[in-house]
Structure 1
């Protein structure tokens, strides 16, 4: 994928639901702020000259993975943590001045890593990887078909593991791309094999072309954006048991949930937003979303007591001035119980994935 206290616009305020003064005050008094951000370890690829980060996975040697990105983490049904990666290239991949994949072989649109490692202070060690392409793509690169199939979110629900993916038609200028559609794949054997859920599909122009998942109280909540990194964030939900029934999805219109009315969803967080990651933080009893704000050139964090908002102003998490061409920002599910937030961050120029850590302060 290509890189690159509440003050909202009047238009957004008019589109948002009306909240009581007590709700607004409570939100302002409970702002999660990330501080003391560090890079903990490298997850994928070879270490670069002079790099002293832990690099336990040896993905080049073990899995023929020299370059990859994303690292969308989710808690699997067996208690392990799964990681979805995007466009993946082989051992011959080398970093280039322009960044990204470059000329390399063994292109796979997506692969999965699986881990039982819960001690994140020195990185994440994979038990193994499913290092073949799981969501298939014919890799038609002339802009007329299916260029690649990129995972955007994953969740365990209804006894299965699910991944939301987008079928990319063509890449545009940095931060923009066109999708043919988005959909779901599922696994009933702990991420070893996957099959398509043909009953759930979103169009290329949908506000849920890209997604983030979290589950709570029997529902799977889905945040979504249009293709690329320029759109606002919208909200949907579905009962876990109905994950594969698109007619059972509810959409938040700013006032109430509407069943099976996808176009009724209105923004809950203003643009621009890309590569979303959503979590319910059990310690702070707040929703947390992390995403790339390409206008600010930062990964940012917002929090809210209610999934429908109001959401706090974006808090700076990681700046591209410190980590050039950063993107991603996917929360590790093991870090929602304490005051340390671990997340997976991609960098375009080394085109690989790193584990990051931030301390959280509730102010």
Structure 2
């Protein structure tokens, strides 16, 4: 199928079409539940920095994809949706769209971001929050593509906004040309080889920015996908340009780094950088590693929590610290609660929060912040790094319009 496909796709991997050869990809469908088909563009001849083939705005939806529900398209009214923010009652509220055609950030015109997901945030140490997004799409004028194309596996936007009560403004982006956010970590965009590369966590150590990412080989059953490896990319110019360190690549092999393909960094002033890890997909437990911040790229320097203490160099010794299903995890210290807070999407696609006195636990019972009954198409839950008071701000994505919004929970 060519251009905008208003459908739900069981698997968005198929034979490339004429549109794929033009670099605009096939469907913007989802690898979620439901039926239908969609194609995955190779992006080999696409316009833009990384080609612009599309693996589907849900299927390649940043590794967060794979268990979508409903039609997926970054232009909501083409799906019969109005694109309005969820009208929630209670302690959690949707504050503002951050990306897409309905966002006050005007990301379509300013950055070429029509649809995207996730929103991995970290403090860059220089008064800004850097935000890495997953598979990103823009408007295209290619006649083979319809409205949606310009696929980039990941992009980065910057924010200095400290007043989150009315939204989160973006000041700039890593660009490859005026008004076009570039793909910061390249991917091959070849189904069965490497369909996309997705950031899963970020951290600043001194003047260097680090992103943990996963290389996705293929999308499997809903909520499950196959990765080649996880790795670390670094930037010394505030996220404008990134280098993948090949010594950090951690293959997805049983008994090894298979439980650390997706990451969540945590730094809390005790001299250690903690890394929570989960397997690729949405069904695994969370485990814990730690390393001295200056050694973040030294895989051999990591230690792993075995349930009672720390074991060096052996990721297979890591014990579960948060029982699954844990999906798209973020962890942060909260001053108001005087505890560590973890936030993620659970097995019912609800956003939940847990508290603990230590990174290794014990983690309390899950507290539902947004029920899937109220927003059945919501996923991802990334805590804003400057949010540590009684108002807890975080980012989440909806399948229906494939864009990111800022939410707030009153603790």
Q: Does 1:213 align with 2:265?
A: yes
1:43 is matched with 98
Number of equivalences: 311
Give matches, 1:119-134, under 5 Å: 119-130=163-174, 131-134=181-184
CA displacement at 1:193 relative to structure 2: 1.1
CA displacement at 1:103 relative to structure 2: 7.7
Give matches, 1:291-330, under 5 Å: 291-293=344-346, 295-330=347-382
Q: Does 1:204 align with 2:252?
A: yes
Unmatched 5+ residue regions in structure 2?
1-60, 69-89, 175-180
Question: How many Å separate the matches in 1 of 2:387 and 2:260?
Answer: 26
Question: How many Å separate the matches in 2 of 1:177 and 1:303?
Answer: 28
Deviations 1:120-161 (A, max 9, x none): 0110110111210011012002x2x11000000011124311
Question: How many Å separate the matches in 2 of 1:103 and 1:255?
Answer: 54
Q: Which 4+ runs in 1 deviate beyond 4 A?
A: none
Three-state SS of the structure 2 residue aligned to 1:107 is strand
1:149 is matched with 197
Three-state SS of the structure 2 residue aligned to 1:207 is helix
2:333 is matched with 280
User: More relative contact order in 1 or in 2 (CA 8 Å, sep 6+)?
Assistant: 1
Question: How many Å separate the matches in 2 of 1:74 and 1:332?
Answer: 8
1:31 is matched with none
Question: How many Å separate the matches in 2 of 1:103 and 1:304?
Answer: 46
Q: CA RMSD in A?
A: 1.5
Distance 1:179 1:90, change over 3 A: same
Task: Choose which of 385, 405, 408 in structure 2 pairs with 1:333.
Answer: 385
CA displacement at 1:269 relative to structure 2: 1.0
Question: How many Å separate the matches in 1 of 2:199 and 2:147?
Answer: 22
Distance 1:218 1:103, change over 3 A: farther
Three-state SS of the structure 2 residue aligned to 1:241 is helix
Question: How many Å separate the matches in 2 of 1:104 and 1:138?
Answer: 20
* Worse-matched range after superposition: 65-74 or 190-199: 190-199
Three-state SS of the structure 1 residue aligned to 2:245 is strand
Three-state SS of the structure 2 residue aligned to 1:89 is strand
- Confirm or deny: 8 A CA contact 2:125 2:206 kept in the other structure: no
CA displacement at 1:239 relative to structure 2: 0.6
Question: How many Å separate the matches in 1 of 2:152 and 2:378?
Answer: 22
1:161 is matched with 209
Three-state SS of the structure 2 residue aligned to 1:161 is strand
Three-state SS of the structure 1 residue aligned to 2:108 is helix
Question: How many Å separate the matches in 1 of 2:210 and 2:310?
Answer: 23
2:322 is matched with 269
- Confirm or deny: 8 A CA contact 1:77 1:160 kept in the other structure: no
Question: How many Å separate the matches in 1 of 2:251 and 2:205?
Answer: 23
- Confirm or deny: 8 A CA contact 2:139 2:147 kept in the other structure: no
Distance 1:197 1:239, change over 3 A: same
Task: Choose which of 112, 115, 118 in structure 1 pairs with 2:162.
Answer: 118
Question: How many Å separate the matches in 2 of 1:62 and 1:351?
Answer: 18
Q: Does 1:84 align with 2:132?
A: yes
CA displacement at 1:245 relative to structure 2: 1.0
CA displacement at 1:199 relative to structure 2: 2.1
CA displacement at 1:321 relative to structure 2: 1.9
CA displacement at 1:226 relative to structure 2: 0.6
Question: How many Å separate the matches in 1 of 2:156 and 2:121?
Answer: 10
Question: How many Å separate the matches in 1 of 2:366 and 2:249?
Answer: 30
1:18 is matched with none
Unmatched 5+ residue regions in structure 1?
5-34, 48-54, 94-101
Distance 1:181 1:314, change over 3 A: same
Question: How many Å separate the matches in 1 of 2:397 and 2:370?
Answer: 12
Task: Choose which of 122, 125, 148 in structure 2 pairs with 1:104.
Answer: 148
1:174 is matched with 222
Q: Does 1:260 align with 2:304?
A: no
Task: Choose which of 302, 316, 323 in structure 2 pairs with 1:249.
Answer: 302
- Confirm or deny: 8 A CA contact 1:61 1:91 kept in the other structure: no
Q: Does 1:230 align with 2:274?
A: no
Question: How many Å separate the matches in 2 of 1:90 and 1:199?
Answer: 33
CA displacement at 1:281 relative to structure 2: 1.4
2:115 is matched with 67
Comparing both structures, which one devotes a greater share of its residues to strand? 1
